Structure 1
Amino acid sequence: MSGGAKRAELTALQAALAAEHAAVYGYGVVGGRIGAARRSEARAAYDAHRARRDALTREVRDLGGEPVAANAAYALPFPVPDAPAAVRLAARLEERVAGVYADLVRAATGVRRASAAAALREAAVRAVRWSGESVAFPGLAERAGEGTGTAGATPSASAPVTP
């Protein structure tokens, strides 16, 4: 792998890690507001994002990087006072995670690309389960208004980002 390709992959891994940090935080909010009927689904998603976050931390280190740290808190994209808002937040979290995994699929090769594609697929399926709606190209359509590449998806350490 060339130096430029390795840097691009590391940048995409860091963006995915940052998105997983935000998703873990966001699912903490979801879990506090979600109705009993969907609580186990929210817990499963929370656990999946924690596992992905931990795996990405190891992968960043394997490539010689220092894993991006989680923010202390994240600004939510809208108020979450009740279960319907928690469901909307869960769908939004998954759509955003799918976007950064689409970037990682593009930047990675081999086993890491396959893992990123699996994470993209899982996030897209969870987004559909939460929202009841699907898109033709998960991880891409949601980002049309956000610009392209990982630069639009990488949170700044100094500014909170919405999960």
Structure 2
Amino acid sequence: MTAGQGLGTALAAEHAAVYAYGVIGARTTGALRATVTAAFNAHRARRDQLRALITAGGGTPTEPDAAYRLPITPSTPAQAVELATLVERGVTAAYLELTASPDAAVRRMAALAMQECVARAYGLHPEIEAFPGMPAAPVSPAPTTTAPASPSPPS
């Protein structure tokens, strides 16, 4: 995969994120809506940055789809958080291949974008998952304990 294809993958993820955050923002209020609005704006800025990089490299940036199929249509704050967390994890994964770009500026941009996505996901749902592309940590079985032996009666 070329750097241009990687930029296209990240751009497609940002298009989807902007769409999803528009849906989430329309269904939230208060502090959550402020958080969602900040994420919407951050993803729009990254989308615009990617479009500029693709154009500067002589490519043609893809346009967003008219609509996207969301895994969740949020109707509660918990569902809004769940969708936003899924979006952030998906965008993080989309940037992963760009961290291997031969262009240092692209690597740096991708690493910073991933860092921002992970921070937003953690802020929404403070849970640490395996790094994208890495296997989940093995679950070790719970230690078994044996009941202490009853003392033998004295003879």
Give the TM-score normalised by structure 1. Answer: 0.78
- Looking at structure 2, the residues matched to 24 and 143 of structure 1 have their Cα atoms a distance apart, in angstroms, of 28
Give structure 1 stretches of 5+ with no counterpart.
1-6, 145-163
Partner of 1:111: 105
CA shift at 1:81, angstroms? 1.6
Distance across 2 between alignment mates of 1:142 and 1:29: 30
Q: Does 1:42 align with 2:20?
A: no
Distance 1:26 1:81 in 2: 13
Matched residue SS, 2:74: coil
Q: Distance in 2 between matches of 1:17 and 1:143?
A: 25
Aligned to 1:97: 91
* Structure whose CA Rg is larger: 2
Q: Is the 8 A contact 1:99 1:142 kept in 2?
A: no
May I ask how many residue pairs the two structures share in their alignment? Answer: 136
Q: Which runs of 4+ in 1 moved over 6 A?
A: none
Following superposition of structure 1 onto structure 2, how do residues 48-127 of structure 1 map, counting pairs within 5 Å?
48-127=42-121
User: Is the 8 Å Cα contact of residues 99 and 143 (structure 1) preserved in structure 2?
Assistant: no
2:16 is the alignment partner of 1:22: yes
Instruction: Report the identity percentage.
Output: 40
C-alpha displacement of 1:130: 1.3
Point out which structure has higher relative CO (alpha carbons under 8 A, 6+ apart).
1
Displacement of 1:141: 4.6
Letter in 1 for 2:73: P
Unaligned ranges ≥5, structure 2: 137-155
Superposition RMSD on alpha carbons, in Å? 1.8
Are residues 1:8 and 2:2 paired? yes
1:19 Cα deviation from its structure 2 partner: 0.3
Deviation track 1:57-107 (CA, whole Å, cap 9, x = no partner) reads 010111111101100000011231222111111000000000011111123
2:65 alignment partner, SS class = coil
**Structure 1 or 2: more helix by fraction:** 1
- Please report the TM-score for the alignment, with normalisation by the length of structure 2: 0.82
